[in-house]
Chain A
Amino acid sequence: MNAPATAAPLVPPAPRSAGNFVIEAHGLTKVYGAQRALSNVSVQVPPGTIGLLGPNGAGKSTFIKCLLNLETPTAGTAQVLGVDIRARNRASREKVGYSPEQDCHIAGMAGCEYVTYCGQLAGMPFRKARQRTHEILDLVGMGQERYRLVDTYSTGMKQRVKLAQALVHDPEIVFLDEPTNGLDPSGREHILQLVGSLWRDLGISVVMCSHLLRDIERVCDRVMIIGHGRLLEHDSIVGLKSRHRRIVEIAPAGETERFQAALTGAGRTVVKLSNGKLRVESASDSIEWVLELMRDQHLPPAEIVANPDALHELFIQSIAADHG
């Protein structure tokens, strides 16, 4: 049985005012010998759920580590929650949570003991830390396992406890590096829902690093794309999609040939994909014209998705442009 969480009534989120930025970086640079891991990154990130995208070795983790002072920037300045990371080293992390990509824990501690300890390290009194620990562990979906040594956890359990330790002290911003790695589909779904609700329900800004573009697209409202240590894109998901060529993907329930003919007849360029779906270029984000066509031509029902891989295409475009 999980320990009872004496949760107080839900406090409505108190988001930071839109004028404030949760992250501000100016010319942030990190050089390792001859390698430039981060090159003159300047960005102002408003509160919300932010996705951090980039290929392996692009500098995403270095960017986060510099913001957390886990790496000392070679040049440039940065503020997290309005606090200068160099001038006020400790204070800049007081309201920040971090769940790193790699496996990390304190050996010899049970799950709940470990999360409580992390709360205390952030300055929480023991009783408060213990209470929040049980609430957070309930939230990330950990049951009796919380009383077992963290060393014995499966990858999924370690992922959950990492998320719990990042949230235990009630941060205002949380950095999550690949938070769904190693989780089974239901666990992944659970964590994504939770991450999505952090900003919506609690006003906790999230910076989520992931290779899974669909996860980012689903959870985040803004995206930053980093390549070769440089910031390639930074915009809201809506803004990015509006800059993308419009695509509608249609999966007809039957009569695919008639569907294709009707679309071609309407003057559209249609590509039939290997999975039987039809890919059509559209003039706008609206799918109203497809529904009209289906009604007029008495076409069978179909699954219609607008801009299905918009983020993926944008990502590839950005990286390709950077290489070019």
Chain B
Amino acid sequence: MDNTVDLSRWRDVPRGVTYRRWTIVVAGLRSLFRIRFFKAVLIVAWVGGALIAGAGFVFSQSLASGGWLETLAQHTSARAEALFTVLAGLMAIYPDIVVRTFFTFVFWVHSFLGLWFSLLALTVLVPQLITRDRASNALIVYLARPLTSVDYLLGKLGIIVGVLLLVWTGPLLFGWLLSMLFATDRDFIVYSLSPLVRALLFNAVAMVALAAIALGVSALGRRPQLTTVVWMSLWLLFGVIAAQPRAAVWLQRLSYTQDLGEVRQEVFRLDAALTDAATNLPILNQQFVTNLTSAGKKAEATDFNGALAALGVFVVASSLVFFRKLRPE
């Protein structure tokens, strides 16, 4: 064996801590992309984004003068043509209510999908985050370098944020941008901004809660199977228990998905959008107005403060777990 020390020396100034944290993020995401299940979740999530774009496109084209719906209505019957004229009129007179209600509803639906896809992606990620590093004593590898435990955590947090951006925020923004690209009127852009901001706000709240919980669960044990079971239990088991109609409030607050559901209702205010539409739009069918109002009531948050407090407890408890466990073993 040849072991003459014939090495090129490296005497450059080392890159800063941001680069090192970014290295952790990139390596984590790269290893995730090797998993087929994650790639499948990602594809489906972006199909969801494409569906938002499709819905927005169809919506804006439908109400545009000279659009395909008008043409179709003209070729169908005088009744259809009249109906189209009414819809186009509503859009012309109440663009704020029509566009805002439509996009609030679309983003509200997407928030379910986004959260679901994120939870699926995190199921793959959680055992890889800290659990695997604890199992292979990799914490020493990180902490013996010019990195602190906070840098390590920020790197791991970056992986979670990256995943949520890829499966939730990315498709949401992509869908909205694409639908706005083909919008026939600037009213679509202006009045869809408020629902978009609400969707992003909910996205951010969920990101903070999910990231902390995922880090906490991942730091809990050294066996990937254990952390997967804990993660699934917190998500599905507690979710099912809390979803029971007769479940006590404190039991509902034990499920972070249920808590996020409450936050969703408060942030999106779909109830207000539907009630607003029912009250202000000149809809002649009284039954439709009643249905809209009752749907709005169902979408009302009942214990927003409690849910927010419960999420706060989840975040604090998870933080305590990962800060306690973040020592080389």
Contacts and interface: CB of A to CB of B under 8 A. Distances in A.
Contacts of A194: 3, 5
Given A104-B141, A118-B145, A123-B15, A135 B8 contact: yes
A141 interface: yes
Given A108-B31, A123-B146, A131-B8, A197 B3 contact: yes
B147 A121 contact: yes
A94 B146 contact: yes
Contact of A105 (B9, B136, B143): B136
Interface residues of A, number: 53
Interface string B96-139: 00000000000000000000000000000000100011011110
B148 interface: yes
Interface string A89-122: 1110110101010111111110000000110111
Contacts of A93: 144-146
Given A8-B9, A118-B145, A169-B14, A100 B137 contact: yes
Given A105-B138, A121-B24, A124-B15, A141 B10 contact: no
Contacts of A11: 9
Contact of A6 (B8, B15, B151): B8
A123 B9 contact: no
A136 interface: yes
B89 interface: no
B145 A10 contact: no
Contacts of A198: 5
Contacts of B20: 120-123
B14 A124 contact: yes
Interface string A64-85: 0100111000000000000000
A202 interface: yes
Contacts of A132: 7-8, 10
Interface residues of B, number: 40
A26 interface: no
A257 interface: no
B15 A125 contact: yes
B17 interface: yes
A266 interface: no
A155 B304 CA distance: 55
B146 A118 contact: no
A102 B137 contact: yes
B317 interface: no
Given A120-B20, A128-B10, A68 B144 contact: yes
A202 B3 CA distance: 13
A96 B151 CA distance: 18
B148 A7 contact: no
Contacts of A122: 14, 20, 145-146
B144 A120 contact: no
A201 interface: yes
B144 A98 contact: yes
Interface in A268-282: none
Contacts of B10: 124, 128, 132, 169-170
Centre residue among A103, A123, A135 by max chain B CB count within 10 A: A123
A123 B140 contact: no
Contacts of B16: 123
B11 to A, nearest CB: 7
Nearest to B131: A107
Nearest to A202: B5
Given A122-B14, A125-B15, A128-B10, A186 B1 contact: yes
A144 interface: no
A91 B7 CA distance: 24
B27 A123 contact: no
A82 to B, nearest CB: 15
Contact of A106 (B19, B133, B144): B133
Nearest to A131: B8
Nearest to B152: A121
Interface in B75-110: none
B226 to A, nearest CB: 16
Complex A-B, nearest 9 residue pairs according to Cβ-Cβ distance, in ascending order: A123-B14, A104-B137, A8-B8, A98-B144, A170-B10, A201-B5, A90-B146, A123-B15, A120-B23
Interface of B: 1, 3-12, 14-17, 19-20, 23-24, 27, 31, 34, 128, 132-133, 135-138, 140-148, 151, 328
21 contacts: A6-B8, A8-B9, A90-B17, A90-B151, A94-B146, A96-B144, A104-B136, A104-B137, A107-B135, A108-B34, A118-B141, A121-B141, A121-B147, A132-B8, A139-B3, A139-B6, A169-B10, A186-B1, A193-B3, A194-B3, A202-B5
Interface of A: 5-8, 10-11, 65, 68-70, 89-91, 93-94, 96, 98, 100, 102-109, 117-118, 120-125, 128, 131-132, 135-136, 139, 141, 151, 165, 169-170, 186, 190, 193-194, 197-198, 201-202
